[in-house]
């Protein structure tokens, strides 16, 4: 009797194929069939706009199906996709990015103030030396 159990990789590949076909349908409905192009085994290019110079602007999409269970291959151990951890990691990354932007803005503001004070000081020194 043959083993009919599908491997996680087979399930992921079948899912990606289904999602890819559905994405093509969705993009065709939204942008028109002539604006949707298959450019790889699982990559779509969609003409989403036209530049002021008349050239088409494309966005590309390639569905990635995440692992749904822990598994081990010959060379590595793959953990199941953890949505909560991924969302938290992204939120932390955004928070750090915002904090870094604030810190850079404050450093720039301090440098501008320091440079302005230095220019004022030099201007005053130059004025006092020319008066003597």
* 3-state SS string for 39-105: EECCEEEEEEEECCCCCEEEEEECCCCCCCCCEECCCCEECCCCHHHHHHHHHHHHHHHHHHHHHHH
The model's pTM: 0.67
> For the chain, what are the domain ranges?
1-81, 82-132
| Neighbouring C-beta atoms of residue 20, cutoff 10 Å | 20
Per-residue pLDDT of the chain (132 residues; tens, 9 = 90+): 556 788 888 999 999 999 999 999 999 999 999 999 999 988 999 999 999 999 999 999 999 999 988 988 889 998 999 999 999 999 999 999 999 999 999 999 999 999 999 999 898 888 888 766
């Amino acid at each position: 009797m043959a083993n009919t159990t599908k491997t996680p990789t087979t399930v992921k590949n079948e899912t990606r194929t289904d999602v890819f076909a559905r994405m093509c349908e969705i993009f065709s409905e939204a942008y028109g069939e002539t604006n949707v192009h298959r450019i790889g085994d699982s990559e779509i290019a969609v003409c989403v706009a036209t530049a002021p110079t008349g050239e088409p602007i494309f966005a590309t999409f390639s569905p990635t199906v995440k692992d749904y269970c822990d598994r081990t291959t010959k060379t590595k151990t793959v953990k199941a996709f953890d949505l909560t951890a991924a969302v938290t990691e992204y939120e932390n990354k955004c928070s750090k990015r915002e904090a870094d932007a604030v810190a850079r803005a404050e450093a720039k503001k301090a440098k501008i103030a320091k440079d302005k004070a230095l220019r004022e000081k030099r201007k005053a020194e130059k004025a006092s030396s020319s008066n003597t």
